[in-house]
C-alpha cells in the first residue's frame, strides 16, 4: 500500500475529511439550511425564486396513489429524468432518453417497461434512496440536451461541472465525465473521470479516474487536454449566486450545459467530496484560508466575487 | 482557539477526575489494580431429610471445622421454622437444628464454601488424646490369615507409615489370606481398620465427600485414618495412603455420628456440589469493606444487575474504538455503532463461533434479500419479511448445530434480529448500487472494528478495571472528546492522496 507522508500532504494544502467536517462544514454550514440542498425539490423552488436557471420540473409526486396518473402522463413524453428528491450520490436517478415499442429506453440503453417505472417510483417514495430511509418524493424533469461540444466526452450520461463555492467565492472546479464503469453516473468514486479545470478560463488542468491520472476518456479515447468549457464566467456566476440562495458557506454546486438553454443548475451539495483536489492535482486549503482571511467591507456581490476568484485564487 | 482551549480544559478535568477518583478508591478500599488469577471454590450444600413424628425435633449434623487441603468460609444454614446453632465441643463441631413441634417431611440445609489450597493444620483435634487401639477379635479361621498378613507386611516395611501402605496393597490386590479376610468383613475399610488396630496402630473412621462439579444427591464415603506416631494419615482402600487429598473433602473426622435426628425417622443426608470461579479473596474482601466507595460501588447491586453493569461499563471502550477507527484510520463501517453491538455478541459467543455464525447469517440473508427484491415489494414489507426469514435462518442454524453436536449453534440467537435485518438490507442496496467491492470494504471494516473492540473488551484486565473502577470511563470520554477535534489526515487519506506525490513535483 502506497502512503504519502502527512507533512507532504499538508505542504500541498490538501483538505482532509476531518478538517472539512470540523473547520468548514461544521463552521460555515448551519444545520437548518441542509434541507434546502438535501431536497432537490426545495432546491429547485428556491433557485427559481432567485431567477437561477434550473431544469424545468414536469411532475412531482409524494403519494403512492399518484403513481398511476403519473405513468399515464409519462406515456406522452419521449424523454425525461426521474429523481428521488432526497437522493444522494446520483442514487435512484433514471434518465429516459428514448421510447421503443411503447417502452422506455434508459440512457444506459436498458429498456424498461411501465411496471419497472411503477416499481421504481414506489421504491423511491418508500425512501429506498433517501438519506436515513425516510419517506421521499419523486421529481420528474425535462431532459438536459447534450451540448455538441461535449460529444464523445461522456458515455451514457451528461457531463456536469462541480464548482466548490466558499463564502460565495468559487474556489475550485472540475468537469465530471460519466464512463461505462460509472454506469452513466458522474460520481468519481464510482469510476467517473474527473477533469480539473483552471479557475480563470475553465480549461483542462489535470484528469483522474479512480484516483489515478489519465490522458484520454477510457471509453471513447478522446483526448482530455483539449477541454475548454464554454460560457465559463456564466457558470462561475451561477455557482457564486448559490451562496445567497442557500446561505451555506461551504457548498458544492453541480452545473450542466444544456444545448439550448446554456448553463443550468442541477443540484447543490452541503458536503461536497474531496476528490476535486485529486482531479486538479491541487489542495483546497490555501484558497480556503485566503478567503477566510478576507475582510469584506462592503460585501461584494456575486459578480465581484467571481472576478476576485479569477484574479487572485487561481494564482494560489 | 477559544473553543479549543475550553475543550482541552474539559479533557484535562475529565482525565484528572477519572484517575484521581480511581486512586482514591484504590487507597480507601485496597482494591487491587490487576484482577489476579481467578480461583475456584467448591460450594457444598448438605441436605438433611427426615420424617418428623410430631414432637420436638433436634437434628444434629457433624460439620467440618477444618478440612485438610481446604479453607472454609461463608457457612450458612437455611430451614424455615427451625432454630440453628453451631455447637463446638472438645472433639466435635456440629450444626444443630431445633424446633418445638414438627410433623411430616422436613428438609434442612447447610451450605459452606471451600477454597482449595489453604491447608491449615488440624490445630485442636491434632492435640486430642490419641485413642488406644482396642483389641481385635478374629474368629478361629481368620486368626492365622490375619497374623500372617500382618507379619508379611511388617517384614517389608520400616515404620508405621510404610506398614500401613503395605497392608493397603495386600487388601487392594487380595492374596489368598486377604481374600479370606475380606469375605468375612463388611468392607475393605472395615478390614483395614481391623488389621491396623491388630497391629497396635490407632485408627479412626472418617467420612469423605468426593468433589465433582454439578453433582446432586451425593453421599459421604467411609474412609479410614491412622496415626503414624506424628500425625493422622488418610487411607483410601484401593488408592493407598493419601498425603494431601485432592478433590476429596473430609467432612467428618471425629466424634460421635455424622447425623443424629431426635424426634424424626427415616433420616437421610445428601450433598450437592458446585464449583464456582471467583475473584481472589482480597477482591471479595475489598468489595465488602465499609467505606464510602464500597457503598457507592456497583457491587452493592444484586448479582443479576451487576452482570448487566459489567457489560454496560464496557460499552464506552467499544465506542472509543469506533471513534478511533473512523476518525484516525478512516475505516468504513455499516452503521456507526454496529461494530460495538457485534463485539458485545462476540463476548457472549466467543470470537470464532461468533464470527462464523454472523457471517453465515448475513450471507444467507443477502441471498434471500436478492430473491425478495424480485418479488416487487414495498420497502417496509420487504424489511419485515427479511426479519422473519432471518429468524428462520437463525433457528435452522441453531437446530442443525445442535443436532451436529455444536452447542455454538445456540448462541446465534443472541444476535439482535432487527439490526441484522437492517445490515442485510443496507449491504444489499450497497451491492446493487456500488457493487460487491464496496460491500466487501464496508463488511470487512465493520468486522475488523468489531474484532478489535471484542479483543479489548474481552481482556480480563480491562474488564476488571472498568467494573471495579468505573470512573476510568471518564478518561475514555476525554479520549473521545480529544479525538473529536482532530482535523488532521486519516490514515486512509494518506493512501488515497498518494497519487499526488509524483504529480506534485512535475
Query: What mean pLDDT value characterizes chain A?
Result: 89
End-to-end CA distance of chain A: 31
**Is the pLDDT score of A293 beyond 80?**
yes
Domain match, A154 and A238 both: yes
Count of beta carbons in the 10 Å neighbourhood of residue B392: 12
Residue B236 lies in a domain: no
* Cβ pair A4:B379 closer than 8 A: no
Count of beta carbons in the 10 Å neighbourhood of residue B266: 9
Last residue of a domain, one of A141, A157, A172: A141
Count of beta carbons in the 10 Å neighbourhood of residue B180: 16
Task: Give pLDDT, residue A57.
Answer: 92
Residue B345 lies in a domain: yes
CB of B235 within 8 A of CB of B297?
Answer: no
Task: Give pLDDT, residue B95.
Answer: 85
Query: What mean pLDDT value characterizes chain B?
Result: 79
Domain match, A46 and A173 both: yes
Q: What is the mean pLDDT of residues B114-139?
A: 65
Which stretch of B295-309, B365-379, B401-415 has the lowest confidence by average pLDDT?
B401-415
> CATH number of the domain that A153 lies in?
3.30.470.20
Residue of B nearest to A205 (CA): B503
Please name the residues in contact with B480: beta carbons below 8 A apart, sequence gap of 6 or more. B319, B320, B323
pLDDT range class, residue A315, cuts 50, 70, 90? confident
Helix ranges, B337-435 (H):
338-349, 351-374, 379-403, 408-411, 417-434
**Site from A4, A132, A212 to mutate, B interface, most B CB atoms within 10 angstroms:** A4
Query: Each residue of B166-220: pLDDT tens digit?
Result: 877 777 777 777 777 777 777 777 778 777 787 777 888 888 888 877 777 788 8
Domain match, A249 and A267 both: yes
Q: What is the mean pLDDT of residues B418-422?
A: 74
Residue of B nearest to A190 (CA): B434
- Nearest CA to A163 among A261, A294, A281, A256? A256
Q: Indicate the residue of B379, B488, B490 with minimum beta-carbon distance to A123.
A: B379
Helix ranges, B412-497 (H):
417-434, 436-458, 460-468, 473-484, 491-496
Domain match, A187 and A271 both: yes
Q: Rounded distance, CA A224 to CA A220, Å? A: 11
CB of A227 within 8 A of CB of A298?
Answer: no
State the Cα torsion B291-B293-B297-B303 to the nearest 10°: -20
Last residue of a domain, one of A112, A141, A170: A141
Task: Give pLDDT, residue A83.
Answer: 92
Domain count of the fold of chain A: 2
- The SS3 call for residue B43 is strand
Domain match, A21 and A71 both: no
Count of beta carbons in the 10 Å neighbourhood of residue B174: 15
Last residue of a domain, one of A141, A169, A197: A141
Please name the residues in contact with B506: beta carbons below 8 A apart, sequence gap of 6 or more. none
Q: Which residues of A touch B485 (CB under 8 A)?
A: 22
Task: Give pLDDT, residue B505.
Answer: 43
* Cβ pair A281:B495 closer than 8 A: no
Task: Give pLDDT, residue B124.
Answer: 47
Domain match, A80 and A207 both: no
Q: Indicate the residue of A4, A17, A91 with minimum beta-carbon distance to B500.
A: A4
- Nearest CA to A174 among A273, A287, A44? A273
> CATH number of the domain that A107 lies in?
3.30.1490
* Cβ pair B490:A190 closer than 8 A: no
* Cβ pair B497:A14 closer than 8 A: yes
Query: What's the Cα-to-Cα distance from B66 to each of A118, B70, B460, rounded to whole Å?
Result: 83, 7, 33
Q: Is the peptide bond before A298 cis (omega within 30 degrees of 0)?
A: yes
Domain match, A80 and A204 both: no
B204 vs A198, which has greater pLDDT?
A198
The whole domain housing A35 covers 6-53+147-315
* Cβ pair B379:A16 closer than 8 A: no
**Is the pLDDT score of B120 beyond 60?**
no
Domain match, A210 and A267 both: yes
Which stretch of A28-37, A96-105, A201-210, B224-233 has the lowest confidence by average pLDDT?
B224-233
Residue A34 lies in a domain: yes
- Cell numbers for B206, please give them: 472418617
Say how far residue B329 (Cα) sits from the centre of its chain.
38
Angle between helices B460-468 and B315-323 (to 10 degrees): 120
For chain B, count helices (H), then strands (E). Answer: 20, 14
- Nearest CA to B226 among B199, B255, B256, B258? B199
CB of B229 within 8 A of CB of B267?
Answer: no
Query: What's the Cα-to-Cα distance from A315 to each of A22, A281, A302, A309, B232, rounded to whole Å?
Result: 26, 14, 20, 9, 100
Q: Rounded distance, CA A141 to CA A57, Å? A: 4
B57-62/A57-61 β-pairing: unpaired
Count of beta carbons in the 10 Å neighbourhood of residue A161: 25
The whole domain housing B453 covers 303-498
State the Cα torsion B143-B144-B145-B147 to the nearest 10°: 80
B464 vs B13, which has greater pLDDT?
B13
pLDDT range class, residue A290, cuts 50, 70, 90? very high
Q: What is the mean pLDDT of residues A125-130?
A: 82
Task: Give pLDDT, residue B118.
Answer: 56
Say how far residue A29 (Cα) sits from the centre of its chain.
18
**Is the pLDDT score of A162 beyond 90?**
yes
* Cβ pair A126:B501 closer than 8 A: no
Q: What is the mean pLDDT of residues B215-234?
A: 79
pLDDT range class, residue B506, cuts 50, 70, 90? very low
Rank A41-50, B336-345, B494-503 by mean pLDDT and report only the highest: A41-50
Domain match, A256 and A134 both: no
Domain match, A163 and A91 both: no
Domain count of the fold of chain B: 1
Residue A231 lies in a domain: yes
**Is the pLDDT score of B429 beyond 90?**
no
Q: Rounded distance, CA A265 to CA A162, Å? A: 10
Q: Indicate the residue of A4, A23, A212 with minimum beta-carbon distance to B494.
A: A4
Which stretch of B26-40, B260-274, B326-340 has the lowest confidence by average pLDDT?
B26-40
* Cβ pair A14:B489 closer than 8 A: yes
User: CA Rg, chain B, in Å?
Assistant: 34
Chain A contact residues (CB < 8 Å to B): 1-6, 8-10, 12, 14, 16-19, 22-23, 91, 115, 119, 122-123, 126-128, 133, 190, 206, 208, 211-213, 277-278, 281
> Residue A176 has what DSSP assignment?
E
Residue B408 lies in a domain: yes
Q: Indicate the residue of B434, B494, B503 with minimum beta-carbon distance to A281.
A: B503
- Nearest CA to B208 among B67, B366, B409, B393? B67
**Is the pLDDT score of B398 beyond 90?**
no
Angle between helices B338-349 and B315-323 (to 10 degrees): 130
**Site from A6, A11, A17, A118 to mutate, B interface, most B CB atoms within 10 angstroms:** A17
Domain match, A44 and A67 both: no
Residue B428 lies in a domain: yes
Query: Each residue of B344-390: pLDDT tens digit?
Result: 888 877 788 788 888 888 888 888 888 887 777 777 788 788 888 88
Angle between helices B140-155 and B176-184 (to 10 degrees): 130
Q: Rounded distance, CA B19 to CA B322, Å? A: 23
Query: What's the Cα-to-Cα distance from B42 to each of B73, B208, B419, rounded to whole Å?
Result: 11, 14, 41
Task: Give pLDDT, residue A233.
Answer: 93
Q: What is the mean pLDDT of residues A70-97?
A: 88
Q: Rounded distance, CA B444 to CA B355, Å? A: 11
State the Cα torsion B63-B67-B73-B77 to the nearest 10°: -10
Rank A157-161, B83-87, B232-236, B268-272 by mean pLDDT and report only the highest: A157-161
Q: Which residues of B touch A84 (CB under 8 A)?
A: none
CB of A271 within 8 A of CB of A162?
Answer: no
Residue A128 lies in a domain: yes
What region does B376 belong to: left with phi over 0, alpha with psi -120 to 50, or beta? left
Task: Give pLDDT, residue A172.
Answer: 95
* Cβ pair A211:B380 closer than 8 A: no
> What are the backbone angles phi and psi of residue B112, rounded to the nearest 5°?
-150, 155
Task: Give pLDDT, residue B286.
Answer: 57
CB of A159 within 8 A of CB of A177?
Answer: yes
CA atoms within 13 A on the CB side of B393: 24
Q: Rounded distance, CA B147 to CA B153, Å? A: 10
Q: What is the mean pLDDT of residues A185-196?
A: 87
B401 vs B124, which has greater pLDDT?
B401
Residue B233 lies in a domain: no
Q: Rounded distance, CA B370 to CA B367, Å? A: 5
**Is the pLDDT score of B432 beyond 60?**
yes
Chain B contact residues (CB < 8 Å to A): 327, 330, 376, 378-380, 429, 433-434, 485-490, 493-501, 503-504
Q: Indicate the residue of B380, B429, B490 with minimum beta-carbon distance to A18.
A: B490
| Measured CA angle at B440 (ends B434, B443), to 5 deg | 110
CB-based burial of residue B183 (10 Å sphere; 0-12 exposed, 13-18 middle, 19+ buried)? exposed
Residue A1 lies in a domain: no
**Is the pLDDT score of A32 beyond 50?**
yes
What region does B434 belong to: left with phi over 0, alpha with psi -120 to 50, or beta? alpha
Which stretch of A6-10, A276-280, B136-140, B475-479 has the lowest confidence by average pLDDT?
B136-140
Domain match, A165 and A263 both: yes
Q: What is the mean pLDDT of residues B234-251?
A: 75
B204-223: burial string, b at 16+ Cβ within 10 Å, e else: eebbbbbbeeeeeebebebb
Residue B184 lies in a domain: no
> Residue B488 has what DSSP assignment?
S
Task: Give pLDDT, residue A196.
Answer: 94
- The SS3 call for residue B490 is coil
Q: How far apart are the CA of B380 and the nearest CA of chain A, in angstroms?
A: 8
Amino acid at each position: 500500500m502506497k502512503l504519502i507522508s502527512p507533512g507532504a500532504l499538508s505542504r500541498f494544502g490538501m483538505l482532509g475529511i476531518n478538517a472539512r467536517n470540523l473547520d468548514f462544514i461544521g463552521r460555515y454550514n448551519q444545520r437548518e439550511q441542509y434541507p434546502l440542498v438535501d431536497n432537490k425539490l426545495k432546491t429547485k423552488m428556491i433557485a427559481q425564486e432567485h431567477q437561477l436557471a434550473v431544469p424545468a420540473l414536469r411532475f412531482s409526486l409524494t403519494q403512492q396513489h399518484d403513481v398511476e396518473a403519473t405513468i399515464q402522463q409519462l406515456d406522452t413524453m419521449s424523454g425525461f429524468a426521474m429523481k428521488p428528491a432526497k437522493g444522494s450520490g446520483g442514487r435512484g436517478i433514471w434518465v429516459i432518453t428514448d421510447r421503443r415499442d411503447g417502452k422506455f429506453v434508459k440512457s444506459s440503453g436498458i429498456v424498461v417497461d411501465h411496471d419497472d417505472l411503477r416499481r421504481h417510483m414506489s421504491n423511491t417514495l418508500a425512501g429506498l434512496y433517501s438519506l436515513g430511509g425516510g419517506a421521499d418524493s419523486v421529481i420528474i424533469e425535462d431532459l438536459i440536451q447534450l451540448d455538441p461540444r461535449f460529444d464523445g466526452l461522456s458515455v451514457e450520461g451528461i457531463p456536469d461541472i462541480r464548482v466548490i463555492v466558499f463564502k460565495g467565492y468559487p474556489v475550485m472546479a472540475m468537469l465530471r465525465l460519466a464512463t461505462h464503469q460509472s454506469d452513466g453516473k458522474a460520481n468519481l468514486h464510482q469510476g467517473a473521470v474527473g477533469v480539473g479545470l483552471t479557475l480563470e478560463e475553465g480549461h483542462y488542468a489535470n484528469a483522474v479516474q479512480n484516483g489515478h491520472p489519465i490522458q484520454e476518456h477510457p471509453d471513447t479515447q478522446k483526448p482530455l487536454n483539449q477541454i475548454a468549457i464554454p460560457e465559463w464566467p456564466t457558470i462561475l456566476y451561477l455557482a457564486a449566486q448559490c451562496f445567497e440562495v442557500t446561505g451555506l458557506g461551504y457548498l458544492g454546486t453541480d452545473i450542466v450545459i444544456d444545448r439550448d438553454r446554456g448553463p443550468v443548475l442541477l443540484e447543490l451539495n452541503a458536503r461536497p467530496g474531496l476528490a476535486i483536489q485529486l482531479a486538479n492535482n491541487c489542495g483546497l486549503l490555501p484558497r480556503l484560508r485566503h478567503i477566510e482571511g478576507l475582510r469584506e467591507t462592503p460585501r461584494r456581490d456575486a459578480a465581484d466575487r467571481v472576478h476576485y476568484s479569477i484574479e487572485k485564487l487561481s494564482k494560489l | 482557539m477559544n473553543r479549543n482551549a475550553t475543550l482541552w480544559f474539559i479533557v484535562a478535568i475529565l482525565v484528572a477526575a477519572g484517575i484521581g477518583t480511581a486512586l482514591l478508591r484504590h487507597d480507601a478500599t485496597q482494591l487491587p489494580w490487576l484482577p489476579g488469577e481467578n480461583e475456584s471454590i467448591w460450594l457444598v450444600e448438605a441436605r438433611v431429610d427426615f420424617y418428623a413424628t410430631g414432637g420436638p425435633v433436634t437434628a444434629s449434623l457433624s460439620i467440618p471445622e477444618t478440612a485438610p487441603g481446604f479453607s472454609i468460609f461463608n457457612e450458612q444454614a437455611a430451614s424455615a421454622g427451625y432454630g440453628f446453632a453451631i455447637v463446638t465441643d472438645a472433639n466435635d463441631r456440629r450444626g444443630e437444628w431445633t424446633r418445638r413441634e414438627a410433623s411430616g417431611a422436613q428438609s434442612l440445609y447447610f451450605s459452606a464454601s471451600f477454597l482449595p489450597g489453604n491447608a491449615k493444620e488440624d490445630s485442636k483435634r491434632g492435640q486430642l488424646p490419641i485413642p488406644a487401639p482396642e483389641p481385635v477379635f478374629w474368629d478361629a479361621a481368620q486368626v492365622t490369615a490375619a497374623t500372617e498378613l500382618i507379619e508379611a507386611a511388617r517384614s517389608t516395611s520400616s515404620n508405621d507409615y510404610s506398614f500401613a501402605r503395605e497392608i493397603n496393597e495386600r487388601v487392594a490386590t487380595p492374596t489368598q489370606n486377604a481374600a479370606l479376610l475380606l469375605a468375612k468383613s463388611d468392607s475393605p475399610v472395615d478390614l483395614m481398620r481391623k488389621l491396623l488396630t491388630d497391629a497396635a496402630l490407632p485408627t479412626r473412621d472418617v467420612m469423605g465427600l468426593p468433589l465433582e462439579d454439578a453433582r446432586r444427591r451425593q453421599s459421604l464415603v467411609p474412609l479410614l485414618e491412622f496415626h503414624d506416631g506424628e500425625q493422622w494419615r488418610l487411607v483410601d482402600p484401593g488408592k493407598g495412603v493419601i498425603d494431601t487429598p485432592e478433590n476429596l473433602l473430609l467432612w467428618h473426622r471425629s466424634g460421635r455420628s455424622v447425623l443424629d435426628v431426635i424426634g424424626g425417622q427415616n433420616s437421610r443426608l445428601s450433598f450437592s456440589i458446585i464449583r464456582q470461579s471467583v475473584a481472589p479473596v482480597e477482591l471479595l474482601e475489598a468489595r465488602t469493606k465499609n467505606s464510602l466507595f464500597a457503598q457507592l460501588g456497583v457491587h452493592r447491586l444484586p448479582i443479576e444487575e451487576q452482570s448487566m453493569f459489567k457489560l454496560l461499563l464496557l460499552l464506552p471502550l467499544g465506542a472509543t474504538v469506533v471513534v478511533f477507527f473512523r476518525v484516525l484510520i478512516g475505516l468504513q463501517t455499516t452503521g456507526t455503532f454496529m461494530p460495538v453491538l457485534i463485539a458485545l455478541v462476540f463476548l457472549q459467543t466467543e470470537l470464532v463461533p461468533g464470527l462464523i455464525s454472523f457471517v453465515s447469517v448475513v450471507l444467507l440473508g443477502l441471498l434471500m434479500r436478492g430473491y425478495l427484491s424480485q418479488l416487487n415489494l414495498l420497502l417496509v414489507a420487504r424489511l419485515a419479511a427479511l426479519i422473519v426469514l432471518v429468524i428462520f435462518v437463525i433457528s435452522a442454524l441453531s437446530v442443525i448445530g445442535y443436532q451436529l453436536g455444536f452447542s455454538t449453534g445456540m448462541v446465534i440467537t443472541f444476535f439482535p434480529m432487527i439490526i441484522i435485518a437492517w445490515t442485510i438490507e443496507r449491504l444489499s442496496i450497497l451491492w446493487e448500487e456500488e457493487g460487491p467491492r464496496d460491500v466487501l470494504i464496508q463488511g470487512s471494516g465493520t468486522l475488523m472494528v468489531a474484532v478489535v473492540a471484542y479483543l479489548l473488551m474481552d481482556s480480563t484486565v480491562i474488564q476488571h478495571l472498568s467494573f471495579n473502577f468505573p470512573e476510568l470511563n471518564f478518561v475514555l470520554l476525554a479520549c473521545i472528546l480529544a479525538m473529536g477535534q482532530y482535523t488532521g489526515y486519516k490514515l486512509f487519506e494518506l493512501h488515497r492522496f498518494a497519487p499526488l506525490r509524483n504529480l506534485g513535483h512535475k
